[in-house]
Chains A and B, each alone.
Chain A
């Protein structure tokens, strides 16, 4: 009685299929009760685990102990914890923080993995630096709201860019808020989403000139960039590629809805 395509259906819910195979899987699920049930259960388990299971972040004392063990004499808790809000002011280098900045500046010389046409190296580093800063500092959002009717007008008043903002909580991407950040010497409007245990920052600028859309992996973080209506977007997170692609599609389709 067991369907022979259960593993394919599982691969479908895990985003492991290419577009053609995914389409075929969708058609099959429509006609197979067993696979339809598997998909529903798989998604319910995913939702439960991401929302309810504990994600254990490394305690601060472990972080300090690891740094000490691997012999890092530079970094101290004051560098890791304080000061990043101040660094976000214009005219100051992002890389002013001692050990952290040095590490990222060095990462600039390491081309790790490129798919498609990349954003520039410095830009990718700045985006990742801003992302990490938003995670470890106190400055994740300037305006905290899961209502896009609050976040979008806030951008209009505080930034020269007003990117599309949506709450995609039903699709697993909860709007956290917005902030203004400085990346690569430019002001960027940043929309912040949460997906499971992961924070996703979506940067938006206009007039970036030579930057092309594409995907990159840098410092363990994935970046996905695209361009739409003269705005340039770069989403960054430590999630998988498929989650970034999905968020990007949601943002682009919400943009279309408001046109």
Chain B
């Protein structure tokens, strides 16, 4: 194994979970997320010379995001279902997207039910809002890191985050109302 590849593995492999988590939340499908991550890791390896050092996570996530976009566009041109309908409809394969890959430590049925409910609300948010919440709250990234990963100015990150939180709250309350 050459040195460049070793360095790549040391810097990038620790972020494989983050890459998969983002891809999974963006694509809402386990199979697609795996394809996106494999594609992203290959692209990252190819353009590794352009990585300027520092934390590799935002850099890798930016690539994951681009790979997801490319795959989604390709898919949209083959399948006749418009993207918007897929996002708002919450039908088809979406419940499948929430099966955990690893055994859930909280086995209590109520915890799982809560989890599924919040997952469903989050998955139904428009992509740009879903993405910023995943990066901020699940990856715990800073505004600067999110700006780097998503390729938008920090001001946009802040306003998106505010709208994402407001929208999540609104839909969460709606789902609470609907289920009680």
Chain A contact residues, CB within 8 Å of chain B: 6-7, 10-11, 14, 16, 41-42, 45-46, 48-50, 52-59, 62-63, 65-67, 69-74, 99, 102-104, 106-107, 110, 112-113, 132, 196-198, 217, 219-221, 238-243
Contact = CB atoms under 8 A, between A and B. Distances in A.
Interface in B60-108: 98, 100-102
Q: Which 8 A-B pairs have the closest CB atoms?
A: A58-B20, A56-B24, A103-B10, A220-B14, A49-B137, A107-B10, A52-B118, A58-B16
Contact of A70 (B14, B45, B158, B159): B45
B34 A16 contact: no
A57 B17 contact: yes
7 contacts: A56-B101, A59-B101, A63-B16, A71-B1, A99-B1, A103-B13, A241-B142
Given A14-B143, A59-B101, A66-B37, A52 B165 contact: no
Contacts of A239: 140
Contacts of B124: none
Contact of B38 (A42, A53, A69): A69
B130 to A, nearest CB: 10
A166 to B, nearest CB: 21
Contacts of B172: 45, 48
A50 B15 contact: no
Contact of B41 (A70, A198, A219, A242): A70
Given A16-B142, A57-B20, 12 more contacts: A7-B159, A14-B142, A14-B143, A45-B172, A52-B114, A57-B17, A59-B34, A63-B16, A102-B6, A106-B3, A198-B140, A243-B140
Given A70-B9, A106-B7, A240-B142, A113 B53 contact: yes
Interface residues of B, number: 60
Contacts of A242: 142
Among A10, A241, A243, the most chain B Cβ lie within 10 Å of the Cβ of A10
Nearest to B9: A103
A223 to B, nearest CB: 13
Contact of B140 (A63, A65, A113, A240): A240
Given A14-B136, A102-B6, A240-B140, A54 B119 contact: yes
B149 interface: no
Given A7-B162, A66-B38, A70-B41, A45 B169 contact: yes
B14 A221 contact: yes
A41 B118 contact: no
Contacts of A113: 53-55
B137 to A, nearest CB: 4
B102 A41 contact: no
A144 to B, nearest CB: 12
A53 B118 contact: yes
A200 B142 CA distance: 18
Nearest to B159: A7
